[in-house]
Chain A
Amino acid sequence: MKRDLRIKQALVVMKVELKRYVLARRWLGVYFAAFAPVLLLLFVGIRMRWRGVSLSDLSEAYAFFYQTFMLRLAIFFSCALVFSQLFRGEMLEKTLHFYLLAPVRREVITAGKFLAGGVAMALIFGASTILTNIFIYLPASSAGTFFLEGEGLAYLIRYIGVTILACVAYGGIFTLTGLKYRNPVIPAIIIGLWEAFYFVLPASLQKFTIMHYLQSLLPLVIDRGPFSVVVDASSGLFSVLILVSLAALLVWAAGKILIKTEITYSAD
């Protein structure tokens, strides 16, 4: 009974958050990061349509685009913006007390907010991943066959999966940092550098990056140059478990911080 109520409460929080933020001005940057590449690839794809570019070249190009731009920049920084603001934004706007005055466990509030961010980011970047992936194959004459009979669809599904897991894992991190730090920009930059250059870290430290596990799930691996330290990929199931468990742990920790949080807006 209590569990049902808590699930309902988390979903109410999620719905309220989505209603508040999906069309908010502060998310313009997120939409731009997600959909500007879609328009760019559509434009390039139309111009180069049916030029007979090989599928393997396009797959590699997409792998490069996805791993460098989408994962490291667009998804990472959008998650930083959205999830850090889940609580910090409320403190700045002096509206957090509305939730805290409801008969809801604070962990449930945290879960609801995290779900809202996760659903929104997964939908936005999931759509972006699908569209960019389809549009990049426009120059190939056999794109249709590649998706329907070849590896295209399997690749696409894996990219979507990685996108969702990236949103979940980075979401967990930034939900926590948004509550813990008054200025979440500094931790975002530090984590961003750690994640962006994970491949030059010693093998043992690479296991402490999100990127390592995301990379293990991708269909193609790109060459990262002479300084990269090559590490064996973790198994798919293990990577998924690690990323989901990590996010759950971080959201739980954020909930515990929220329990101790006081409403002293003037100090924020």
Chain B
Amino acid sequence: MQPDQLIVFDNVSKFYGEVLGVNRVSLSIEPGVTSLVGPNGAGETTLMNLMTGMLHPTKGSIRVLDVLPSDPERFYRNIGYCSQFDAFPRGLSGYHMIHSMMSLHGFTNKEAEERTWNVMERVGMTEAAHRRVAGYSKGMRQRIRLALALAHDPKVLILDEPLNGLDPMARAEVIELFRKFADSGMHVVISSHIMHEVDIVSDSVIMLSGGYVVAEGEIQGVRQEMEDHPIQILIRCDRPAVVASSVFHQDSVVEARIHTDGGGLLVSTRNPDQFYELLNRIILEHRIAVESVSPADENINAVYQYLVGSNGATPL
């Protein structure tokens, strides 16, 4: 892929005095939805602030679509950043804020007006457009931040905890919006501690712990990198004891636990493909009625817990 389609971190370190922000980060982020995952203080916000030029790296360099942050006139045309800072300039309405920002982008007054109303409509804020931001609820302020990030049609959308403060309906809409952006070839970089939402929306993940990137890639890919870590598969069926005794013949199966209700079992295996083949045979052989078969932990939280230890896990 060409450099003008990538977000590239080249051996980037950031220290706040002697405190580590992120260390030796080398990444090449392709278009699509990329999630930054980690517990508080892992370095996601630092990485985002570096990506948006709000922080300067102590070492290394960052290029977004082959533009350096030191060229703000080109750099910020490509970037929309929805930060987690919940403060707004005093005395301004949501409309005025976005309109002013569009004027700074160089749009004519008419274009700025059109873009402002369009994005206000997109985030459902037309009715409150002329109210002062200070009077908005938390959810409304979050929508205005999102609108500010989207209004100039950036190619790279960076969102720090973008779903905070949104009601479930709005969350679903915003997630759909991110998918649309990603499908149109945009970069959407998200940080979130709400794992199931990251799971739903992401094409790839970057996992951080203590300022280091501990894993990156597609969610499935990250999983496959962890050869030693068994996958858990949940099987709901009528005769779990038969299944358990049969699967234990396979070397890759390390554990099989029957549910206390007697209606299923949880199998841990290092080779899921082989296991699924075996399971099919067992089901046919013993005529077992299967209600469901599903991976129990193939989500970011499980991967994250495995990679950085249980202390790093955040609740769903």
Contact = CB atoms under 8 A, between A and B. Distances in A.
Interface stretch (B30-38, B72-80, B198-206, B300-308): B72-80
Interface string A72-112: 00000000000000000010011101111111111000000
B90 interface: yes
B81 A101 contact: yes
Given A16-B100, A103-B76, A263-B55, A8 B91 contact: no
Contacts of A3: none
Contacts, number: 89
Q: Point out which of B74, B83, B91, B106 has the most chain A C-beta atoms below 10 A from its C-beta.
A: B106
A103 B97 CA distance: 15
A95 B81 contact: no
B87 A262 contact: no
Given A9-B104, A12-B103, A95 B74 contact: no
B89 A5 contact: no
B85 A97 contact: yes
Q: Place the interface of chain B in its size category.
A: 20 to 34
Contact of B103 (A2, A8, A21, A101): A8
B103 A98 contact: no
Given A100-B54, A103-B75, A19 B92 contact: yes
Contacts of A9: 103-104, 106
B101 to A, nearest CB: 6
A237 interface: no
A120 to B, nearest CB: 14
A62 B148 CA distance: 51
A24 interface: yes
A103 B104 contact: yes
B55 A98 contact: no
A8 B89 contact: no
B53 A100 contact: yes
A12 B87 contact: no
Q: Point out which of A15, A97, A105, A106 has the most chain B C-beta atoms below 10 A from its C-beta.
A: A97
B117 interface: no
A93 B133 CA distance: 14
B83 A97 contact: yes
A259 B106 CA distance: 20
Contacts of B92: 16, 19-20
Chain A contact residues: helix, strand, loop or mixed? helix
A16 B49 CA distance: 25
A68 to B, nearest CB: 34
Interface string A20-38: 1101100000000000000
Contact of B74 (A5, A102, A103, A265): A103
Contacts of A259: 70
Given A103-B76, A105-B72, A94 B85 contact: yes
Contacts of B87: 93-95
Contacts of A265: 85
B76 A102 contact: yes
B63 interface: no
B212 interface: no
Nearest to B83: A97
Contact of A5 (B56, B72, B97, B106): B106
A56 interface: no
Interface in B144-181: 148
Contacts of B85: 94-95, 97, 265
A264 B76 CA distance: 19
B52 interface: yes
Contacts of A262: 49, 54-56
B104 A93 contact: no
B104 A19 contact: no
A9 B104 CA distance: 5
A101 B55 contact: no
Interface string A238-268: 0000000000000000000001101111010
A103 B72 contact: yes
7 contacts: A24-B90, A93-B90, A103-B77, A103-B104, A105-B72, A259-B70, A262-B49
Given A2-B73, A262-B49, 5 more contacts: A19-B96, A102-B104, A103-B76, A103-B105, A104-B72
